[in-house]
Amino acid sequence: MPSIELKYGRDTIAFEYEPERFTVLGGAHSDVSLSDIEIGAKLDNPIDTEPIEEIVSPGESILIVVPDATRQTACGQIVNLVVRRLIANGTAPHDIRIIFATGIHRKVTDAEASAILTPFIAQRIKTLDHEPRNLLGLLQFGETSTGIPIELNRALSEHDHVIMIGGVTFHYFAGFTGGRKLICPGLASARTIAETHKLAFDCAARSRREGVDTGLLDGNAVNEAFEEIVDHISPAFAINTIVDPSGSVVEVFCGHWKSAHRTACKRYAADNTVQLAEKRDVVIVTCGGSPHDVNMIQAHKALEAASQACNDGGTIVLVAECGEGLGRVDFLDWFEAADSSELAGRLCQKYKVNGQTAWSLLRKAERFEIKVKSEINEEHLRKMRLSPISAKGISEIFKTSAATGYVFLDGARCRVHV
């Protein structure tokens, strides 16, 4: 039988399968990585705005917003090019700051900062951390049209220009990552993050709000709130990357913060939407390795894609290392609920961002038999209604079952339509 390698953190797990019964999806990408010269040409011809050199004047200060270590965006290559352009244009290095858009994620470590920015930039340009609960580091920029307080990192008001650098992939309720998400939730207060994310949930129906889904922007209440908030900041320039599974840049869309991001999303959706003729009884899915499977909260995004390809009552095998465990110490508390309906009730009484991920995970565990190969404590898996499985056990499922199935090699990167 042929064998493929399933990405698991920074390692792989060998898996044998029968091609007559199982269709392998993803993994093969023909795009060529962009060189610095090719990226530079795109920076020279931005979408709906002027090049950086015509926006920023010498003596003005710049805040560059970048993602944290849970995102794969090839940020280092882009930041290097942008910083060099700014300096060549007359900007002093001490007028440039870089801030990590961590939202409510943990702080970026020194090693991660070097990996995100490259050691060259990390050693030469001052970096800032975002603290979503530090009131002294936050400033109110007004309210949204629905009354959500716009509380963002104070640094956004302390620089002449804001430049956003991020990557675009699918997001299971915000539509897509990147772009406006670097500001909200990336640099928002815990309260603003909670209020905007709560828009994804319909408490009357105890379910996801209509229009809130993977790959949807227009009519998506969460995305529309994010975009309205960023309108209050009016970033000077935005750069959106699309990367291949190895993390290399294969496309760049830069310019106006909104239209450049929308253009990138359209391209990403066209290239990464998987059209299937049918659902099947067995689906195995990997997140595509690190950093997509750093913890269960991140790994859940791959599970979302797998759930669209599996028949109700079928089996999903999630291959996700989750070296940092669940992602938050309080994530497991949500699974004290008897079922997803009770969890939804708790979520509506006292909303927390990761409660929605817990609800979505529990809903899937009620619809499918979910087996997980990970480093998460087996007792924790069972509390989440998931079953631990070994690498050997993955192959055994396919040998003992007569069912047909799919194997998704990059589940975190795709959207499934049946």
> Which fold does the domain 36-271 belong to in CATH?
Rossmann fold (3.40.50)
Instruction: Please check whether the two domains, 3-29+276-417 and 36-271, share a CATH topology.
Output: no
Q: Are 390 and 373 in contact (CB under 8 A)?
A: yes
- Is residue 97 within 8 A of residue 62, CB to CB? The reply is yes
pLDDT digits (tens, 9 = 90+) for 292-322: 999 999 999 999 999 999 999 999 999 999 9
Q: φ and ψ at 174, to 5 degrees?
A: -90, 0
- pLDDT band with cut points at 50, 70 and 90 for residue 30: low
* Amino acid (one-letter) located at 55: I
Residue 220 DSSP SS3: coil
What pLDDT, in 10s, does the model give residues 102-143? 999 889 999 999 999 999 999 999 999 999 999 999 999 999
Per the structure block, which two tokens stand in for 112? Answer: 């991660």
Confidence grade of residue 100 (pLDDT, cut at 50, 70, 90) = very high
Confidence of residue 275 (pLDDT cuts 50, 70, 90): very high
Domain limits of the chain? 3-29+276-417, 36-271
- Per-residue pLDDT at 211: 94
pLDDT higher than threshold 90 for residue 401 = no
- pLDDT tops 80 at residue 267: yes
CA 406 centroid distance within chain: 23
Q: Which pair of structure tokens corresponds to residue 22?
A: 């199982």
Per the confidence metrics, is the pTM higher than 0.75?
A: yes
**Which pLDDT score, from 0 to 100, does residue 337 have?**
96
Segment 137-181, tens digit of pLDDT: 999 999 999 999 999 999 999 999 999 999 999 998 999 999 999
Residue range 3-29+276-417 in CATH 3.90.226.30? yes
